[in-house]
Amino acid sequence: MISSYLGCDDDKFSDAEVEASEAVEETVYVPSKQDVVLMVRPGMDLSKVVLPTFILEPRSFLEKLADYYYHVDLLAD
């Protein structure tokens, strides 16, 4: 049977489940560039440092914004 996706009804979930899912979303930690610099010391083994993905990306922030605004008509729909 093929059915279409209609989205998520909040009525199916209890208030506790909705609050728990919101609490999980609020506890996400994104380290800033200063936090990453403070983790690294001279002579430290860098294989033990966990780096966030924005450091490993070869593109600049300006390039990412340019791509975002180039396709803004697709993202608005």
pLDDT over 50 at 1, yes or no: no
Residue 32 lies in a domain: yes
Host domain of residue 63: 12-76
Residue pair 38/31 in contact (Cβ under 8 Å)? The answer is no
Residue 63 lies in a domain: yes
Residue 69 lies in a domain: yes
Residue 66 lies in a domain: yes
Give me the mean pLDDT over the 52-66 stretch.
Answer: 79
Please count the structural domains in the chain: 1
Render pLDDT for 3-48 as a digit per residue (tens, 0 to 9).
454 555 545 556 655 555 555 455 556 667 677 677 778 888 878 7
The two structure tokens encoding residue 54: 């924005």
Residue 70 lies in a domain: yes
Residue pair 46/40 in contact (Cβ under 8 Å)? The answer is yes
Residue 28 lies in a domain: yes
